[in-house]
Amino acid sequence: MDYNEAKNKFISTWGALGTLWGINKAMAQIHALLLISPEPLSMEDIMEELQISRGNTSMNLRQLMDWGIVFKENKMGERKEYFTSEKDVQELARQIAKERSRRELQPTIKILNDVSNIQDDGTAKTTELIKQTKALHEMANNLDIMMNKVVGQEQNWITKALVKLIK
Amino acid sequence: MDYNEAKNKFISTWGALGTLWGINKAMAQIHALLLISPEPLSMEDIMEELQISRGNTSMNLRQLMDWGIVFKENKMGERKEYFTSEKDVQELARQIAKERSRRELQPTIKILNDVSNIQDDGTAKTTELIKQTKALHEMANNLDIMMNKVVGQEQNWITKALVKLIK
DNA sequence: TTAAACTTTCAAAAAATATTGAAAGTTTAA
DNA sequence: TTAAACTTTCAATATTTTTTGAAAGTTTAA
């Protein structure tokens, strides 16, 4: 496997995986490209490399910046904007965990809490609804605490966490 | 908030969340419905409750069974098939972790391994590709080990894991 | 100022995904 | 066997999501 084949394989795998995580293909591919690029890339570079339109590139770069995993960079004496990704995969994971907690987990926890606190009228269906949403609430809460713990952690948390879990 | 309001809120929240996890809306809603239903439901019940077609119901029930979180049940003397969900949320989480590892993480790890093992020709771009895919490979691997550890664990792992991580 | 060099926006088009429903398939009771 | 009571399949359709590209917007140098 040569460089180009490997690069394409990586970019398309990352793209496909992104979809499964609620991130669209173009967004994931731009991220993949920046992650393995030793130099910051311009919008033109990205459009060219991934064969996508200017509008698409612009919108997805913005989203990646909103996620806090891609940054604008300016080269001295150049008007054009360049982009880089967070290169440290630990930091990347931390940032993603943080955002997913904020965007998905926390709103869900709020609703589970509301639903699980309805008045119990003693019917089987109400009792079951309360019981199950309470259980989900507790689990989602634990997950959230874990994820935020991890976010506040210094380098290499995942390896450390692993060691703790295994022993 | 009364029972019906709470039920609908829960089902639609679960449905919306499902999309973010690579599970479609109908599939997530069927699962939500079964999770809070004290009795097994027939296909008719599900179609009626969620206002979806027979075909849709049939296909999504099958997928839920493939995920190992919904089961067929037969009532004595009845021809019709009934469905229940795994009711224990810990077991549910374990099952989902197991399936996601198998379907997503493991294939990705394989590709990261292939890509990170290409011949290093010493150019900056090749070196960067190898470096980053190696780092992702290691992280994905650790995550996978963690998830499988969790799968093999007895009840209440998430709470235990949490305690370990916090201290 | 002006205009060149860029980036962003957004309505329309394309692509991908989910849903329907009727026909085909299956199972069981008689 | 047959036929009733179901479930599954799948081509057609509907819906949702993504992408395009050109116009509008912004910034900077002169």
Quote the mean pLDDT of chain B. 90
Identify whether residues A60 and A103 lie together within a single domain.
no
> CA distances (Å), A92 to each of A60, A83, A144, B117, in order?
17, 16, 18, 22
Last residue of a domain, one of B85, B120, B141: B85
Same domain flag for A63 and A136: no
| B21-69 per-position pLDDT tens digit | 778 999 999 999 999 999 999 999 999 999 999 999 999 999 999 999 9
Q: Amino acid letter at B56?
A: N
Instruction: Say whether both A73 and A128 belong to one domain.
Output: no
Mean pLDDT of chain A, nearest integer: 90
Based on the number of CB atoms within 10 Å of its own CB, is A130 exposed (0-12), middle (13-18) or buried (19 or more)? buried
Comparing A49 with B21, which gets the higher pLDDT? A49
Question: Phi and psi dihedrals of B152, rounded to 5?
Answer: -85, 0
User: Angle A41-A47-A51 (CA atoms, 0-180°, nearest 5)?
Assistant: 135
By Cβ distance, the residue of B129, B158, B164 closest to A36 is B129
What pLDDT is stored for residue A22 in this prediction?
78
Q: What is the pLDDT of residues A97-119, one digit of tens each?
A: 899 889 989 999 999 999 999 99
- At residue A156, the pLDDT reads 64
Q: Does residue B8 belong to the interface with chain A, where contact is any CB pair within 8 Å?
A: no
Least confident residue range of A5-14, A138-147, B124-133: A138-147
What phi and psi values does residue A140 have, to the nearest 5 degrees? -60, -40
Q: Which of A85, A105, A137 is the last residue of a domain?
A: A85
For chain B, the domain total comes to 2
Please, which residues 44-73 of chain B have a Cβ atom closer than 8 Å to chain A?
A: none
Q: Tell me the mean pLDDT in the region B112-122.
A: 97
pLDDT exceeds cutoff 70 at A15: yes
Please answer yes or no on whether B89 and A149 come within 8 Å at the CB atom: no
Please indicate, yes or no, whether residues B55 and B119 belong to a single structural domain of this protein.
no
- Residues B12, B77: one domain? yes
Bridging pattern class, strands B70-74 and B81-85:
antiparallel
Of B9, B111, B142, nearest to A158 by CB-CB distance is B142
B8 and B68 in a single domain? The answer is yes
Interface check for A40 against chain B (CB to CB < 8 A): the answer is: no
Extract the tokens encoding A148.
């935020």
β-bridge pairing A70-74 and A81-85: antiparallel
Residue type, B138: E
Residues B99 and B60 in one domain: no
**Residue whose token pair is 């020709």:** B121
User: What is the span of the domain harbouring residue A10?
Assistant: 3-85
CA separation for the pair B145, B150 (Å, rounded) = 9
Q: Does the CA dihedral A107-B19-B105-A35 come out positive or negative?
A: negative
Predicted TM-score (pTM) of the model is 0.90
Predicted local distance difference test score (pLDDT) of residue A16 = 85
- Of B112, B110, B162, the C-alpha closest to B132 is B112
Q: Is B136 found in the same domain as B70?
A: no
Clarify whether residues B33 and B98 are in a common domain: no
Helical pair B157-166 and A157-166, crossing angle rounded to 10 deg = 120
Task: List the single range of A48-62, A76-90, B9-23, B68-82 with lowest mean pLDDT.
Answer: B9-23
Structural domain ending residue among the three candidates B34, B62, B85: B85
Asked if B159's CB is within 8 angstroms of A9's CB, the reply is: no
Residue B66 sits in the same domain as residue B118: no
Q: Are residues A49 and A112 in the same domain?
A: no
Q: Residue B118 — φ and ψ, nearest 5°?
A: -70, 160
Say whether pLDDT at A163 is over 70.
Answer: no
On whether both A160 and A100 belong to a single domain, the answer is yes
**Bridging pattern class, strands A41-42 and A81-85:** antiparallel
Q: What is the mean pLDDT of residues B84-106?
A: 91
Q: What is the CATH number of the domain that holds A16?
A: 1.10.10.10
- Could you please report the per-residue DSSP string of A142-161? HHHHHHHHHHTS-TTHHHHH
